[in-house]
Amino acid sequence: MGILLWENVGGGDAVKKFIIFLLMISFLTVATSCYSDPEDDTTVYITSAGQKYHRENCRYVRGKAIEISLSKALREGYDPCKVCKP
């Protein structure tokens, strides 16, 4: 009787652990898919004078590139460069 009760508690604990494990896996999957969203956090480059954003190796920003996220560049009204097409 005592042993049977012990086994039941042990089994329930394992199920709980398994459910927590599943929750963690699904949470991590959601977090990873949000984190790896390619659109918002692409890094682009602007210059202090220009109104365009560029790729890192564009000749227009070489030597004077200011790193900025794509979402911020768009929010601040920058347009994509026609040469490097970021």
Residues that bind Zn ion (CB under 5 A): 54, 58, 60, 81, 83-84
Task: Give the chain's length.
Answer: 86
Asked whether 82 and 55 are in contact (CB, 8 A), the reply is no
Output the smallest distance, CB 67 to Zn ion, in A. 14
Coil, strand, or helix at residue 72?
helix
Between 7 and 79, name the residue whose CB sits nearer to Zn ion. 79
**Residues 34, 79: Cα–Cα separation, whole Å:** 25
In the bound state, the residue with its beta carbon closest to Zn ion is 81
Between 26 and 43, name the residue whose CB sits nearer to Zn ion. 43
